[in-house]
Structure 1
Amino acid sequence: MFSKIRKNWYTEDFSYFVRNFGVFTLIFSAMTLIILQVMHSSLYTSVDEKLQVLSSNPQDVIQLALNRASEDIKDLNNESVAKSSDKKPTVSSNTEVILFDENLNQLLAGNRFLGLDKVTFNKKDLNHIRQLHVQNSFGQDEIYRVLLTEMHIETTTTNIKYAAILINTSQLEQISQNHEQLIVVVMASFWILSLLASLYLARVSVKPLLESMQKQQAFVENASHELRTPLAVLQNRLETLFRKPEATIMESSESIASSLEEVRNMRFLTTNLLNLARRDDGIKPDLGEVQPEFFNTIFANYEMIATENHKVFRFENRIKRTIITDKLLLKQLMTILFDNAVKYTEEDGEINFVITATDRNLYLTVSDDGIGISQADKKKIFDRFYRVDKARTRQKGGFGLGLSLAKQIVDALKGSISVKDNKPHGTIFEVKIAIQTPPKRKNK
Structure 2
Amino acid sequence: MNTEISRKQRLKFFFINVAAFASIFLLLGFITLQLLKSSAYRQTDLSLTQMAENEHLIDMEITRYQQDDPFLAQLPAEQHEKDLEGNNRFNTQIILWSKDGKILNKSVLGGRFTELENLTLDKKQLDSIETLNLENDSDTTQKLSFHSYTIKADQGENVAYIQFLANTNQIADSMKTFRTILIICMVIFWLISIGISFYISKMNMQPIMNSWRKQQEFVENASHELRTPLTIIQNSLQQLFTKPEHTIIEESEPIAQALNETRRMKSLTEDLLTLARSDSNQLILQKELVEPRPFIQQLAQPFQEIAEMNDKHFILENFADQPMLIDEKRIHQVLVILLDNALKYTDAKETIVLQSEISSDNWLIEVKNDGPSISDEDKKHIFERFYREDRSRSKETGGYGLGLSIAQQIITQHKGKLSVRDWLPKGVVFQIRLPLKK
TM-score class, shorter-chain normalisation, is 0.7 to 0.9
What is the 5 A alignment of 1:148-297? Answer: 149-154=151-156, 159-280=158-279, 281=281, 282-290=283-291, 292-297=293-298
Contact 2:307–2:314 under 8 Å retained in 1: no
Deviations along 1:118-152, whole A, 9 cap, x unmatched? 32525546626341323274553322234455543
The correspondence for 2:75, drawn from 67, 78, 86, is 86
Could you tell me how far apart the structure 2 residues matched to 1:37 and 1:178 are? 15
Deviation at 1:369, TM superposition (A): 3.9
Could you tell me how far apart the structure 2 residues matched to 1:364 and 1:126 are? 83
Unaligned runs of 5+ in 2: none
- SS, match of residue 90 in structure 2: coil
Deviation at 1:315, TM superposition (A): 1.9
Aligned twin of 1:19: 16
Q: Which amino acid aligns with 1:356?
A: S
Q: How many residues align?
A: 421
Deviation at 1:323, TM superposition (A): 4.1
Taking a change above 3 Å as real, the CA distance of residues 390 and 49 of structure 1, as seen in their structure-2 partners, is same
TM-score of the pair, normalised by structure 1? 0.80
Could you tell me how far apart the structure 1 residues matched to 2:21 and 2:111 are? 52
Aligned twin of 1:418: 419
Q: Which amino acid aligns with 1:370?
A: G
Taking a change above 3 Å as real, the CA distance of residues 101 and 413 of structure 1, as seen in their structure-2 partners, is closer
Could you tell me how far apart the structure 2 residues matched to 1:390 and 1:79 are? 111
- SS, match of residue 143 in structure 1: strand
Q: Which amino acid aligns with 1:51?
A: L
Deviation at 1:23, TM superposition (A): 2.9
Taking a change above 3 Å as real, the CA distance of residues 241 and 307 of structure 1, as seen in their structure-2 partners, is farther
The correspondence for 2:26, drawn from 23, 29, 51, is 29
Could you tell me how far apart the structure 2 residues matched to 1:386 and 1:165 are? 85
Could you tell me how far apart the structure 2 residues matched to 1:135 and 1:119 are? 8
Contact 2:344–2:397 under 8 Å retained in 1: yes
The correspondence for 2:101, drawn from 78, 101, 104, is 104
Aligned twin of 1:441: none
Deviation at 1:259, TM superposition (A): 0.5
Contact 1:311–1:342 under 8 Å retained in 2: no
Could you tell me how far apart the structure 2 residues matched to 1:415 and 1:160 are? 87
Contact 1:349–1:370 under 8 Å retained in 2: no
Deviations along 1:282-332, whole A, 9 cap, x unmatched? 523523333645444443322333355x45132224337464344323332
Aligned twin of 1:387: 388
Deviation at 1:374, TM superposition (A): 1.7
Deviation at 1:33, TM superposition (A): 1.3
Taking a change above 3 Å as real, the CA distance of residues 64 and 169 of structure 1, as seen in their structure-2 partners, is farther
Could you tell me how far apart the structure 2 residues matched to 1:79 and 1:137 are? 26
Taking a change above 3 Å as real, the CA distance of residues 81 and 26 of structure 1, as seen in their structure-2 partners, is closer
Aligned twin of 2:336: 335
Contact 2:419–2:431 under 8 Å retained in 1: yes
Contact 1:285–1:412 under 8 Å retained in 2: no
Taking a change above 3 Å as real, the CA distance of residues 122 and 390 of structure 1, as seen in their structure-2 partners, is same
Aligned twin of 1:299: 300
Deviation at 1:180, TM superposition (A): 2.6
Aligned twin of 2:368: 367
- SS, match of residue 44 in structure 1: helix
TM-score of the pair, normalised by structure 2? 0.81
Contact 1:317–1:354 under 8 Å retained in 2: yes
Deviation at 1:249, TM superposition (A): 1.3
Contact 1:65–1:97 under 8 Å retained in 2: no
Contact 1:58–1:151 under 8 Å retained in 2: no
Contact 1:341–1:351 under 8 Å retained in 2: no
Aligned twin of 1:121: 120
Deviation at 1:83, TM superposition (A): 6.0
Aligned twin of 2:146: 144
Could you tell me how far apart the structure 2 residues matched to 1:14 and 1:86 are? 74
Give the root-mean-square deviation of aligned CA atoms: 3.7
Could you tell me how far apart the structure 2 residues matched to 1:376 and 1:339 are? 23
Q: Is 233-242 or 311-320 further displaced after alignment?
A: 311-320
Q: Which amino acid aligns with 2:247?
A: T
Deviation at 1:85, TM superposition (A): 0.8
Could you tell me how far apart the structure 1 residues matched to 2:422 and 2:125 are? 95
Taking a change above 3 Å as real, the CA distance of residues 182 and 248 of structure 1, as seen in their structure-2 partners, is same
Aligned twin of 1:70: none
Taking a change above 3 Å as real, the CA distance of residues 322 and 52 of structure 1, as seen in their structure-2 partners, is closer
Aligned twin of 1:46: 43
Taking a change above 3 Å as real, the CA distance of residues 163 and 422 of structure 1, as seen in their structure-2 partners, is closer
Deviations along 1:19-72, whole A, 9 cap, x unmatched? 3333333232222212222333444333334434444568745854887xxxxx
Deviations along 1:185-240, whole A, 9 cap, x unmatched? 44444444444443444344443333333322222221111111111111122122
Q: Which amino acid aligns with 1:353?
A: V
Contact 1:384–1:400 under 8 Å retained in 2: yes
Deviation at 1:113, TM superposition (A): 6.1
